[in-house]
Chains A and B, each alone.
Chain A
Amino acid sequence: MARTVGFFTDTTLCIGCKACEVACKEWNQLPGHAPAFGDGYDNTGQLDEQNWRHVQFHERTTPKGGVAWNMMSDVCKHCTQASCMEVCPTNAIIKTEFDTVYIQPSVCNGCRDCIAACPYHVIGFDEASGLARKCTFCYDRLQANLLPACAKACPTESIKFGELGTMREVAGARLNQLRGQGMAEARLYGDKEYGGLHALFLLTDKPEAYGLPNAENAVLPSRNNIRNYLGSVVTAAIGVVGAVFAFRERGGKG
């Protein structure tokens, strides 16, 4: 059944339990990397071929001088205009009947152009399979009418799942509620970027603080096609004229 699905991740409800990460790995049979223990609670590090959900922990100073966390469960944004899909030379990356972005494992040949393109650091190269891998939006579960594993496991409903239109409404209402309560720093991410993301986020800081490019920097790879080709064409023309000039006969000089 074709429908347009979406996540709405409300970071104000995230408690950093990482149930989403665990549920994702369980369902998708991702062994994960060995954890890296640093000076924080984030031992996942980043989204990649093994981590399709990543709970970020950002320390911030509260107005009263205390320290608090901004936590966010990050995930593939399933962009409407997807940079990865734009560059993929094999057409391995497709839009599913749920309007999500899916890398077909039977088609991908591991060229990694999508990794260079994704502005969200989502896709990783899996050495074992030789493929680019990322969140599938639990494509198999969606086909069986189940919730994505992360949304199912989230104990605080920080991760919400539903029709994209509904998610937009819920996100908008939540934003108004928080603003009404005086949380002026609350903002929505993903309603405009890349033609609208299928993973919306309610943030309490600027997007850059969560590793998300702001509106100015959320741009498609293809923006560079024309200007780079144009530069090359001008250079080619200069080169050819230069060669003709260099090769022409110089009256008896040889």
Chain B
Amino acid sequence: MPQHFVAPPQWEWYIVWYFFLGGLAGGAYALGAILRLMGDQRDAPVSRLAFLLTLPLLAICPILLTLDLGRPLRFWHMLIDARTFTLNFKYWSPMSVGVWVLLVFSLFALISFLEAFGTWRSGKAPFLTGGLGRVFLIIGALFGLFLAGYTGVLLSVSNQPVWSDTWALGALFLASGLSVAAAALTLMARLGRHEASAEAKLTRVDRYFTLLELVLLVVFFVSLGAVGSQFLQPRWMVLWVVVLIGILVPLALQLSPRRTPAMLAAVLTLIGGLALRIVVVFSAQM
């Protein structure tokens, strides 16, 4: 079993919420892009919903990250070397990569938001069309997927107990990001009025991602081995139960064709996704 003598970085609520919102925003954009790329016009409102959701959530992320810094006004030191005024980019440091991804992805999210807002409010024709539009959406979706998953890699690229003892944390956060994004879209689609076919598609994808998250949760614990016992203390067990409820109950409820259970399932998925990040972030630092 690996030994650790490391100090905790005191990453707390700002970081937990960033991980949650980043996963949600990245996953939502990817889902919106895939739906759009598949070209069914009846799904256009739901894909638009995804792009409308992504930007506001994403806009909170840099605020959280900046507030978490010891010197918030030096946030730009992440991007530009404060001594040489050259660009800072370290591909081997996920925090460095993540800052750039957040920045570039924000541009994609902004443009997609503007397009979605235009088609929604003013009935303008979408401009991300043709080959170039498709390439734009594919690249944007890749950045979104990266954003949803790299936060787990960031934790792992350290010497902290649990975080650095697994290879599955990036994968787990990504699966969870996709799952909460599908849940959020399901919730919003059910609140509004959308084509039944689009709602059915969302329910299906929500189900797949919840299953994927369950599989990766098992993989995560298997990859931890004996280190996983850190989670077996009672105070973390409560949160793990919330995480499990957020996976297992939705899996059962998603089978129901009725409206209320589907919405309850989505809410539970969102709470479970947040609980997952809370327990992973806090437990390793105690």
Give Cα A90–Cα B7 distance, bound, in whole angstroms.
Answer: 20
Give Cα A118–Cα B88 distance, bound, in whole angstroms.
Answer: 21
Does B83 lie within 8 Å of A104, measured CB to CB? yes
Does B153 lie within 8 Å of A224, measured CB to CB? yes
Does B83 lie within 8 Å of A107, measured CB to CB? yes
Which chain B residues border A244 with CB–CB below 8 Å?
34, 38
Which residues in window 131-166 of B have CB below 8 A to A?
141, 145-146, 149-150, 152-153, 155-160, 163-164
Asked if B216 CB lies within 8 Å of chain A CBs, one says yes
Give Cα A116–Cα B4 distance, bound, in whole angstroms.
Answer: 11
Does A111 lie within 8 Å of B204, measured CB to CB? no
Closest to B5 in A: A211
Which chain B residues border A177 with CB–CB below 8 Å?
none
Contact of A239 among B7, B10, B155, B212 (CB under 8 A): B212
Which chain A residues border B116 with CB–CB below 8 Å?
none
Which chain A residues border B2 with CB–CB below 8 Å?
217
Does A242 lie within 8 Å of B209, measured CB to CB? yes
Closest to A107 in B: B82
Give Cα A129–Cα B163 distance, bound, in whole angstroms.
Answer: 28
Which chain A residues border B35 with CB–CB below 8 Å?
243, 247
Give Cα A234–Cα B43 distance, bound, in whole angstroms.
Answer: 27
Closest to B90 in A: A89
Give Cα A254–Cα B43 distance, bound, in whole angstroms.
Answer: 11
Could you tell me the distance in whole angstroms from the C-beta of B250 to the nearest C-beta in chain A? 15
Give Cα A131–Cα B205 distance, bound, in whole angstroms.
Answer: 44
Does B69 lie within 8 Å of A109, measured CB to CB? yes
Asked if A110 CB lies within 8 Å of chain B CBs, one says yes
Contact with A along B53-87 (1 / 0, CB 8 A): 00000000000000011111011011001110000
Asked if B170 CB lies within 8 Å of chain A CBs, one says yes
Asked if A190 CB lies within 8 Å of chain B CBs, one says no
Does B167 lie within 8 Å of A48, measured CB to CB? no
Give Cα A123–Cα B8 distance, bound, in whole angstroms.
Answer: 10
Give Cα A235–Cα B170 distance, bound, in whole angstroms.
Answer: 9
Which residues in window 96-123 of B have CB below 8 A to A?
96, 99
Asked if A147 CB lies within 8 Å of chain B CBs, one says no
Closest to A242 in B: B208
Give Cα A239–Cα B99 distance, bound, in whole angstroms.
Answer: 24
In the complex where A109-B75, A121-B7, A246-B208 touch, is A91 in contact with B81 (Cβ < 8 A)? yes
Contact with A along B188-231 (1 / 0, CB 8 A): 00000000110011001101110010001000000000000000
Contact of B9 among A89, A113, A222, A236 (CB under 8 A): A113
Does A111 lie within 8 Å of B78, measured CB to CB? yes
Contact with B along A210-228 (1 / 0, CB 8 A): 0111100101011011011
Give Cα A109–Cα B75 distance, bound, in whole angstroms.
Answer: 7
Of A4-12, A20-28, A80-88, the stretch lying at the interface with chain B is A80-88
Does A112 lie within 8 Å of B10, measured CB to CB? yes
Does B167 lie within 8 Å of A254, measured CB to CB? no
Could you tell me the distance in whole angstroms from the C-beta of A141 to the nearest C-beta in chain B? 22
> Which of B72, B159, B163: most chain A Cβ within 10 A?
B159
21 contacts between A and B (CB under 8 A): A89-B95, A92-B82, A108-B77, A109-B72, A111-B68, A111-B70, A112-B10, A112-B70, A113-B158, A116-B155, A116-B163, A118-B6, A119-B159, A120-B6, A229-B153, A230-B167, A235-B174, A239-B175, A242-B209, A244-B38, A247-B40
Residue positions of A touching B, CB distance < 8 A: 46, 48, 83, 86-92, 104, 106-113, 115-127, 129-132, 208, 211-214, 217, 219, 221-222, 224-225, 227-232, 234-236, 238-240, 242-249, 254
Residue positions of B touching A, CB distance < 8 A: 2-11, 30-31, 34-35, 38, 40, 43, 68-72, 74-75, 77-78, 81-83, 88, 90, 92-96, 99, 141, 145-146, 149-150, 152-153, 155-160, 163-164, 167-171, 174-175, 178, 196-197, 200-201, 204-205, 207-209, 212, 216
